[in-house]
Structure formats: structure tokens, C-alpha cells
Amino acid sequence: MKHIFKIVAILVAISSIWIALLETSTIPRSYTWLLPIYLVVALGCYGLFMVGFGLMFFPTCPQEAILLQQDIVEAKEFLAKKGVDVGSE
Amino acid sequence: MEAAAGSKRAYSIIVPTYNERLNVALIVYLIFKHLPDVNFEIIIVDDGSPDGTQDIVKQLQQVYGEDRVLLRARPRKLGLGTAYLHGLKHASGEFVVIMDADLSHHPKYLPSFIRKQKETGADVVTGTRYVKNGGVHGWNLMRKLTSRGANVLAQTLLQPGASDLTGSFRLYKRDVLEDLISSCVSKGYVFQMEMIVRATRKGYHIEEVPITFVDRVFGISKLGGSEIVEYLKGLVYLLLTT
């Protein structure tokens, strides 16, 4: 199934619950009208939280840059000895 | 050195290059250093670099053998997807590894890709920067923010089945890679995303190994507004077609 259909199906399910709530008035209508706004705000909060969380714990590896420089020096030495032209870029 | 006629390798490592004169030498050295007991070949797909990348590859062939370092050049820049396809045509390995030549993908992780595949029998092993023991170096706050935003968006909307969508350090079973390339149409790094999303949708077994990513040691990293637009277009395309 195309993924967009899954998302549309979820949206249709949510809207039908919402319409049902509007029709049956189990909770006051003025509240029900605001529910979609709450949903959008909640989604936005989820997104911001996930991005913020990911940013706070973003895995970094400064030591890897140093190790790579050592590898480069080692590789250049070996290759120069073998006659590979690594002197000029 | 003489190439053994019709020799089969277990692993073919495809490295597309364009003006990577120095890097290609370094990466070949590092691959041989980290895979001492593995039956592999390196296939360099060079898109007519004017900086003499191909001369360096020929010198490397003198050191490591023409049957281990293969040069399969193309006349000019023809895109990443077709570069893999071109390399694949000349690959004899049962498994194919794809990696960048610019040393942002370090060959020291190759043994962990191979081990993971052997342990799990996976169809695709993909390197991920966003887990424990993985990581990125050389990104500023803006770059990290865009990356996280893009990732959250894709994970929520696409459920792609992998934590690192735009990384391209991956090991594939040969026939799986052939199948995926033939069904992917995107360009650039959206192509990498499309490959892994389609692999998930087709039900292939995907495993992940942590890798670190040191960004462009000899270059300037680039991520502008047009890349973000391309990414969003790719996301919509994948939503509609997978």
C-alpha cells in the first residue's frame, strides 16, 4: 500500500471521530470545535520536542577527526614509499 | 601483476570518484589495511576527473594489483545512481559495498558491516550516524538542526525502517542492490533515501551498524536552501510512490 494512503486513512479516522463527537454532543460543542487546533498544536510540540531532544544528544566524534589525520599521515608515508604520487593535491 | 582470469570475489567495494586524486589513494590504503583477510576488490568509478585521479588509480594498481583495484572510468559526470550501476556491471562479488571517496566514510567500519551481515544474514547493512558509538564531526549548529528536522519529518511521515536515511555507507547483497537501483529514480542524496525506503517496502532484511562521519576533510561542506527544497520534494515523492 502506498504510504500516503496510510496517512490519509489515519486522517479520515480522526476526522470521523471528530464529526461523531460534533453530532452526538457528548462534550460541549464549543470544546469539540477546538479539538483540531489542539491536535495541530500537539503535533507541533511533538516535532519540536523530537528535534530539540535530538539536537541536545546529537552524537559527535571530535576524536575521530584526530584519528583520521593520523591515518592520513600513515597512508601518505606508505604510499609515497611505494611510488604513488600523493605529494600534490 | 597478472589478473586471475574469471576470479570471483566475496566483496566488491564500489567507490565513485570525481576529483579525488589524494583521497582515492588514502581510501584504497585504508581499505587494504582494515580488511587484511578478506577476499575483496575495489571498483573505482571515475567520472573523467580532470585532476588526474585516474593516474593515481593506475599507480595504486601497480602496488595492489589490477585484479584488486579496478578502474572503470566513464567519460564525464553522469550521476550517482548510474555510477553504482556501472560499477555493479563489473563487480564479481556476492556482496557489494558502496562508500564515498572523500573519507567521510572510514574503511575501519568495513569489518563490522561484514560481521553484521554474517551474523544476521541481512540483505542490506546500512551505516548509521545517529546511534550510540556513531556520530558526526564538523557540523555547525545549523547543519545539525536541519539534519534533525529532516530526520524527524521523515521518520514520522515515512516510517522508513532505518535511523539514518541520507547516509550512503552501505553493504548490499548483489541481487538486492540490482533490484533497488533499477527501481530508484531520484538524484543526489534523495537517491540514498529512496534506496533504503524501497528496501523496507520490498520487505528486505535491513540491519544497522554505527559509523562516525567526519565531514569533508579536504572540502567545504555544502547545504543550502536548494538542498532543503530537493529533500522536501523527495519526501513528497516517496510518500506518493512507496
Provide ipTM, 2 decimals. 0.85
Residue-level pLDDT at B3: 44
Condensed to tens digits (0 to 9), the pLDDT of residues A41-73 reads: 999 999 999 999 999 999 999 999 999 999 999
Residue-level pLDDT at B222: 58
Which residues on chain B are in Cβ contact (under 8 Å) with A75?
Answer: 25-26, 29-30, 33
B31 burial type by CB count under 10 A (0-12 exposed, 13-18 middle, 19+ buried): buried
* pLDDT at position A40 over 90: yes
Task: Return mean pLDDT, chain A.
Answer: 89
CATH class of B1-103: alpha beta
CB contact under 8 Å between A59 and B131, yes or no, is yes
Q: Give the range of the structural domain holding residue A73, as residue numbers without chain letter.
A: 3-81
Residue-level pLDDT at B225: 76
* Alpha-carbon span A46 to A48, nearest angstrom: 6
Residue-level pLDDT at B177: 95
Instruction: Tell me the longest C-alpha to C-alpha distance in chain B.
Output: 53
Residue-level pLDDT at B166: 84
CB contact under 8 Å between B242 and A61, yes or no, is no
**Residue of B26, B59, B133, B200 for testing the chain A interface, max A β-carbons within 10 Å:** B26
Which residues on chain A are in Cβ contact (under 8 Å) with B238?
Answer: 3
CB contact under 8 Å between A2 and B241, yes or no, is yes
Domain boundaries, chain B: 1-103, 123-242
- Enter the C-alpha cell of residue B70: 579496478
Q: Give the residue from chain A lying closest to B28, CA to CA.
A: A75
Residue-level pLDDT at A27: 82
A89, part of any domain = no
Compare CB distances from B239 to A3, A59, A83 and report the shortest one's residue.
A3
A87, part of any domain = no
CB contact under 8 Å between A54 and B103, yes or no, is no
SS3 letters across A19-87: HHHHHHCCCCHHHHHHHHHHHHHHHHHHHHHHHHHHHHCCCECHHHHHHHHHHHHHHHHHHHHCCCCCC
The residue count of chain B comes to 242
Task: Map residue B201 onto helix, strand or coil.
Answer: helix
The neighbouring-strand residues paired with B11 are: B40, B95
User: How many domains does one find in chain A?
Assistant: 1
CB contact under 8 Å between B130 and A85, yes or no, is no
A86, part of any domain = no
- Enter the C-alpha cell of residue B2: 597478472
Low-confidence ranges of chain B (pLDDT < 50): 1-5, 217-220
Cα–Cα nearest to B27, from B171, B223, B174, B169: B169
Percent of chain A with pLDDT over 70: 97
Which residues on chain B are in Cβ contact (under 8 Å) with A60?
Answer: 135-137
Instruction: Work out how many CB contacts closer than 8 A connect A with B.
Output: 104
Compare CB distances from A60 to B135, B145, B159 and report the shortest one's residue.
B135
- Enter the C-alpha cell of residue B48: 573523467
pTM value is 0.88
Residue type, A27: I
Residue B115 neighbours by CB under 8 Å, 6+ apart: none
CB contact under 8 Å between B21 and A61, yes or no, is no
- Dihedral of CA B122/B124/B128/B134: which sign? positive
A12, part of any domain = yes
Residue-level pLDDT at B53: 93
Residue-level pLDDT at B81: 81
Which residues on chain A are in Cβ contact (under 8 Å) with B129?
Answer: 59
Q: Mean pLDDT, to the nearest integer, of A16-25? A: 88
Closest CA–CA distance from residue A12 to any residue of chain B (Å): 16
Residue-level pLDDT at B153: 92
Residue-level pLDDT at B11: 96
Residue-level pLDDT at B242: 86
A73 burial type by CB count under 10 A (0-12 exposed, 13-18 middle, 19+ buried): exposed
